[in-house]
Amino acid sequence: MLDKSIVFMRSLAAGEIEQEVVFPFPAIDPDEGETLGAVIESVDQMLEGRDEEFRAWDVAGELPAEFLEEMKEFGLFGLIIPEDAGGMEFGNLAYSRTLQQVARHDASVAVTIGAHSSIGMRGLKLYGSDEQKAKWYEKLATGEMIAAFCLTEPGAGSDAAAVRTTASDEGDHYLLNGSKIWITNGGMADFFTVFAKTGEKDGKSKLSALIVTRDMEGVSTGHHEDKMGLRASSTTSVYFENVKVPKENLLGPLNGGFKVAMNILNNGRSGVGGGAVGAMKKLIALSARHAMERKQFGRPIGSFGLIKQKVGHMMVDCYASEAAVTMIAALADREYEDFSVEAAIVKIFSSEAMWRTADEALQTAGGGGYMRELPYERIMRDARINRIWEGTNDILRLYIALTVLNDVGQGLREMAKSLKGIFDHPIKGFGLLTNYARKRANWATGLPVSSKTELDKVHVALRPQAEVFEDLTRELAAMVDRLLRKHGKNIIDKQFATRRLADVMIDMWILVCVLSRVTASIESKGLEAAEPEIQIARVFAGQAKRRTRANFRKIDNNDDELIKALAEHAYQAEGYSWDVI
């Protein structure tokens, strides 16, 4: 029986390896796998050989209406909707894999589906009442209604709680007023999950989620934004002017909208990750072909070490991203209570891996990569947004680090209280110790910290890499402790330090996902066939170890203050102030 309340990374930061969460590596349910196989094949049939069209739609800045109809007929808007409402009822794993396949062909198409299923209607799936689902599922499954997620406003980007759109209680309805910007699918959506202010507590806005449909009077949308990438996907402002939203359209708890928004984004992350993996697979295929075909200095450029270095690293990035995306999709499918830190890591790692891959693939293609005739530059433009939306990677890094620092800080506060209790009342006092506090006290006294310090479910061929993980776990726990002792409450303003902690945690989650995946491969294919994957694990463990050690050293030995002073200098001078001539 799985304990679904266990949170892998949050436990890890306190020195505990909850390996049952990540072993065995998830596999798709055979029934769902059969349907998924057929869907993947049909996606390829539908999208293969249409590169010229994708390029034309990128230039035109929209998907043609006929193509949207094709997507609807295929059922691409019903991927996560139950079968009895006309959908395919895919879990997160199959959904993410489908988006991956679409993204291998075109990102604008994948994002149109993703904005609908990952975030636009995800709130209905997670929080909708039976009546709400009965009312909208079928239309959303056929694509008669396309969905959009409306959170961002001019004054509320990363600071989502600063939303100013209001929904005032008017008895039998809410009166909605305000505007949202940069809403994906805005121009074509009929179903909007809208976040608006419904109250205030201690000077802070309380948000609620509302279902708004285009047929309501007072709903309108702006022009298609002229964007860097994903140009064929629709991005518009959405305006609400005295819109009467029936009370029954409240989604989730009143004034609980912030949590609803965060949960939607959290649950949708395997979509972004799946898209990133799809783009990486396409780029690797393009680069491998080009490396073999293009000759310079009388040899295929692929025979040169510098090209192999690029393509080899793309393989590691793609494999590692795929392992971690698969893992969080499975955690969502198995209904783990909290995987928000792991999901944030997947969003960061896969979006940055995709960016590195796009950059190196374009470099491998040389000047041709810069030309619009080839898809590299478009893929690179399309890739860039993934580091910005659904929580910028910077904000997500803060979230990852501050979540575990808060856990441990709380443990420390409780420990202080308990220690006081020990002096007042020795027996009762020890009973008061929390798990974390007990571990911390054991570190101090040299007693064993935890029984969960080993990663022994990893295949024996990967024992050195498992040891890297075990060593890093001890160092992570020590790092969290050291940061809290050094900065105390001020840690919240020490963003250089919290970023380093987040980077360590990113490396560790990705590493454990890779080790789990390679273990499963060895067990199913045998050592010889899994050898390339074992090499990936070796490379990634080496990288993770080097990066983590460097981050650890920098807690006390860094040039953070110098860098901050230089930024202040630029702010004051309003730019760079040392022209040579």
Q: Which is nearer to ligand FAD, 157 or 312 (CB)?
A: 157
Strand, helix or coil for residue 488: helix
Residue 370 CA to its chain's centroid (Å): 28
Residues 471-500 that bind ligand FAD (CB under 6 A): 495
Judge contact between 391 and 158, C-beta under 8 A: yes
Q: For ligand FAD, which stretch binds (CB under 6 A), given 63-71, 130-138, 150-158, 290-298?
A: 150-158
Q: Which is nearer to ligand FAD, 197 or 440 (CB)?
A: 197
- Count residues binding ligand FAD (CB under 6 A): 22
CB of 398 to ligand FAD, least distance (A): 6
Chain position whose Cβ is nearest to ligand FAD: 157
Say whether residue 251 binds ligand FAD (CB under 6 A).
no
34 membership: H or E segment, kind and range: helix 30-47
Q: Which one among 45, 129, 158, 524 touches ligand FAD, defined by CB under 6 A?
A: 158
Looking at this protein, which amino acid is placed at residue 113?
Answer: I
Query: Would you give the binding string for ligand FAD spanning residues 359-388, x where CB under 6 A is met?
Result: --------------------------x--x
Sequence-separated contacts (24+) of 366-375 with Cβ below 8 Å: 366/294, 372/55, 375/51, 375/54, 375/55, 375/282, 375/286
Say whether residue 436 binds ligand FAD (CB under 6 A).
no
Q: For ligand FAD, which stretch binds (CB under 6 A), given 41-49, 151-159, 248-256, 291-299?
A: 151-159
Instruction: State the number of CA atoms in the 13 A half-sphere of 134 facing the CB.
Output: 4
Say whether residue 183 binds ligand FAD (CB under 6 A).
yes
Residue 160 CA to residue 391 CA, distance in Å, equals 9
* % helix, strand, coil for the chain, step of 5: 60, 10, 25
Q: Which is nearer to ligand FAD, 317 or 390 (CB)?
A: 390
Query: Would you give the binding string for ligand FAD spanning residues 385-414, x where CB under 6 A is met?
Result: x--xxx-x-xx-------------------
- Positive/negative CA dihedral, 149, 153, 158, 162: negative
Q: Which one among 75, 157, 199, 429 touches ligand FAD, defined by CB under 6 A?
A: 157
Q: Which is nearer to ligand FAD, 163 or 534 (CB)?
A: 163
Phi, psi of 178 (to 5 degrees): 150, -175
Q: Which one among 100, 184, 198, 516 touches ligand FAD, defined by CB under 6 A?
A: 184
Which residues 6+ apart lie within 8 Å of 314 measured at CB?
Answer: 280, 283, 284, 287, 356, 357, 360, 361
320 closest CA partner among 93, 523, 97, 510: 510
Could you give the C-alpha distances from 60 to 54, 370, 464, in angstroms and in order?
Answer: 10, 19, 53
Peptide bond into 246 cis (omega under 30): no
Residue 68 CA to residue 62 CA, distance in Å, equals 10
Instruction: Catalytic residue, from 225, 390, 475, 533: name it.
Output: 390
- Residue 418, token pair as written in the block: 């308990």
Looking at this protein, which amino acid is placed at residue 6?
Answer: I
Say whether residue 150 binds ligand FAD (CB under 6 A).
yes
Residue 35 CA to residue 213 CA, distance in Å, equals 32
CB of 161 to ligand FAD, least distance (A): 12
Q: For ligand FAD, which stretch binds (CB under 6 A), given 181-189, 213-221, 247-255, 545-553?
A: 181-189
Q: Which is nearer to ligand FAD, 160 or 250 (CB)?
A: 160
Q: Which one among 47, 99, 151, 379 touches ligand FAD, defined by CB under 6 A?
A: 151
117 closest CA partner among 86, 151, 146, 85: 146
Angle at CA of residue 8, ends 6 and 13, nearest 5°: 115
CB of 150 to ligand FAD, least distance (A): 6
> E strands along 451-536, which residues?
none
Say whether residue 115 binds ligand FAD (CB under 6 A).
yes
Say whether residue 227 binds ligand FAD (CB under 6 A).
yes
CB of 79 to ligand FAD, least distance (A): 18
Angle at CA of residue 425, ends 419 and 428, nearest 5°: 85
Q: Which is nearer to ligand FAD, 54 or 149 (CB)?
A: 149
533 is catalytic: no
CB of 221 to ligand FAD, least distance (A): 12
Say whether residue 67 binds ligand FAD (CB under 6 A).
no
Q: For ligand FAD, which stretch binds (CB under 6 A), given 94-102, 179-187, 409-417, 470-478?
A: 179-187
- Beta-carbon neighbour count of residue 58 at 10 Å? 23
442 membership: H or E segment, kind and range: helix 435-445
CB of 167 to ligand FAD, least distance (A): 16
Q: For ligand FAD, which stretch binds (CB under 6 A), given 142-150, 266-274, 280-288, 343-351?
A: 142-150
CB of 559 to ligand FAD, least distance (A): 19
Residues identified as active-site? 390
Residues that bind ligand FAD (CB under 6 A): 115, 148-152, 157-158, 182-184, 227, 230, 235, 385, 388-390, 392, 394-395, 495
